[in-house]
Structure 1
Amino acid sequence: MTSDARDDADHDGSIDIDAEVYFRIQTSMDAVEVRQRLNVVSDDARFTVDEGVTFEFPGPIEVDQSIRQDFISKVGLMVLHPFMRESLRSLSAKLGVEPVLLPIRRGFDLEPMDPSEASLKLPNGNSED
């Protein structure tokens, strides 16, 4: 996790979030990693939070594109989100700036994934819903 304090005169209470999600199958084919990187800019600071989770399987697996995308949105991001949320809140509190708290999520919509790429982006917006 990293952060940079901002010293802007404009304080309109907005938060800009840019999120990327990475999916990687380990060479052994018996583990999958889902990693999320959030870049968050608030009135008081700029934050980058990067967390990942590894899921291990009893043997080698094969994952096609549709299963990969479903796994990321329904399992990987749902497991990661509470940790991302707490990391961001904790980091902003430690810096003594207005706490940044991501909303509780019930699901994630992902942009279509190119089968040749290991990363995808959450749709852009000024906040995570």
Structure 2
Amino acid sequence: MTEHAAPILTSAQEVVDCVELTRILVWEASGRRHDEVPAADGYDVGVPEVRARASAESIEARLRVTARSETAELVADVAAQFSLRVPAEVSSTGLREFIEAVGVMTLYPYIRESLFSSAARLGEPAPVLELLRQGAFRVGGDADEQTLTPDQLATELGSSAKRVRAILRELDSGHPKNQPWHITAKQAQGVRDAIGTRH
């Protein structure tokens, strides 16, 4: 009896044709307050953190967003699980395209609702999330070089993402305005050095 090789899915459309959404899993939905009085200048919403994994039977997309103000921190971390109708191999390109075009867009309404609910429980104003545009995020594991978000570097340094972004703009004045930062090892070291000399 001849065994047929599993098909290889190489594009988002090929993946879409073979999957169905089977589960939404909330990993974290949290909010904490730092002060009694709500901040007047709103939230600093970090770059969405996107992760993906695939097997012959399933694909998982995971999205995490952190919103910080002077008085509160909100975190939403949600995953979408998709089942393949027949066992298949998903190429790295097909997986990336599917996660960017389908996985993240599936999760974004859940992220928005989670942040709004956490803010309401704290009695804080709800954060306003910008439209999620192509290029505003990167799928974890896809980059040739490991990069950091301002939130991740700020946590490491015990500082704020706003301060990290200000230093990055000083170090790289050519960075497009209102575009997310994918901080390289060299840029991260420059921020560490700058914060170390300003203490």
TM-score interval for Structure 1 and Structure 2 normalised by the shorter chain:
0.7 to 0.9
Structure 1 or 2: more strand by fraction: 1
**Structure 2 residue aligned with 1:21:** 50
Q: After TM superposition, give the deviation of residue 39 of structure 1 in Å.
A: 1.6
**Structure 2 residue aligned with 1:94:** 121
Larger mean Cα displacement after TM superposition, 17-26 or 52-61: 17-26
State the alpha-carbon separation in 2 of the partners of residues 93 and 33 from structure 1.
29
- Alignment check: 8 A CA contact 1:36 1:50 kept: yes
State the alpha-carbon separation in 2 of the partners of residues 123 and 82 from structure 1.
23
**Structure 2 residue aligned with 1:50:** 77
TM normalised by structure 1 equals 0.75
- Residues 1:71 and 2:87 are matched in the alignment: no
User: Larger Cα Rg: Structure 1 or Structure 2?
Assistant: 2
The ranges of structure 1 where at least 4 consecutive aligned residues each deviate by more than 6 angstroms after the TM superposition are 119-129
**Aligned to 2:81, what secondary structure does the other structure show?**
strand
State the alpha-carbon separation in 1 of the partners of residues 101 and 61 from structure 2.
11
TM normalised by structure 2 equals 0.51
- Residues 1:4 and 2:12 are matched in the alignment: no
State the alpha-carbon separation in 2 of the partners of residues 66 and 36 from structure 1.
19
Q: After TM superposition, give the deviation of residue 103 of structure 1 in Å.
A: 3.3
Structure 1 or 2: more helix by fraction: 2
Q: After TM superposition, give the deviation of residue 81 of structure 1 in Å.
A: 0.5
- Alignment check: 8 A CA contact 2:96 2:142 kept: no
Q: After TM superposition, give the deviation of residue 92 of structure 1 in Å.
A: 0.5
What is the alpha-carbon root mean square deviation over aligned residues?
A: 3.5
Larger mean Cα displacement after TM superposition, 73-82 or 12-21: 12-21
Structure 1 stretches of 5 or more lacking a match?
none
Q: After TM superposition, give the deviation of residue 2 of structure 1 in Å.
A: 1.7
Structure 2 stretches of 5 or more lacking a match?
1-28, 152-160, 163-177, 181-199
State the alpha-carbon separation in 1 of the partners of residues 96 and 33 from structure 2.
35
**Structure 1 residue aligned with 2:134:** 108
